[in-house]
């Protein structure tokens, strides 16, 4: 289905696996699908809790095709740095446990992105 705007620019709507698109979308979708599948497989019961972290990690990781991170491509400046957690730095036990789990999940996300 094709729509024309007032400036004469056409919008060509398609599905995620439509062979008539430029191909880049399909590659990115397959990569994201593999990335999230790896994460969900490893974190079957808690993956929902970490989806936003997976999104952040993906968008702040350097992409060769862009020559920069997706975050930088969108906003025009480098993404904020992730400050690693130092074990037992928090005084509250639950916070310490959460931050340790976050660091473990980040390691898993890095590995999942490399696999994808």
Query: Cβ–Cβ contacts within 10 Å for residue 109, how many?
Result: 24
More confident residue, 2 or 69: 69
Report if pTM > 0.85: no
In this predicted structure, the answer to whether residue 1 has a pLDDT above a threshold of 50 is no
pLDDT at residue number 13: 66
Closest by CA position to 71, among listed 58, 82, 84, 83:
58
Alpha-helical (H) ranges within 1-116 are 24-42, 51-59, 70-75, 93-115
What residue spans define the domains of the chain? 22-115
> pLDDT tens digit string along 23-56?
677 777 777 788 788 777 877 787 887 787 778 8
**Average pLDDT over the chain, rounded to whole?**
75
């Amino acid at each position: 289905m094709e729509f024309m705007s007032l400036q004469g620019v056409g919008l060509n709507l398609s599905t995620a696996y439509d062979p008539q698109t430029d191909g880049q979308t399909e590659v990115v979708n397959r990569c994201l699908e593999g990335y999230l599948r790896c994460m969900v497989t490893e974190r079957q019961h808690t993956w929902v809790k970490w989806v936003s972290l997976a999104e952040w990690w993906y968008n702040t990781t350097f992409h060769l095709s862009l020559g920069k991170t997706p975050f930088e491509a969108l906003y025009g400046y480098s993404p904020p740095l992730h400050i690693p957690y130092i074990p037992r730095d928090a005084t509250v036990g639950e916070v310490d446990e959460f931050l340790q789990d976050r660091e473990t999940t980040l390691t898993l996300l890095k590995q999942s992105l490399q696999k994808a």
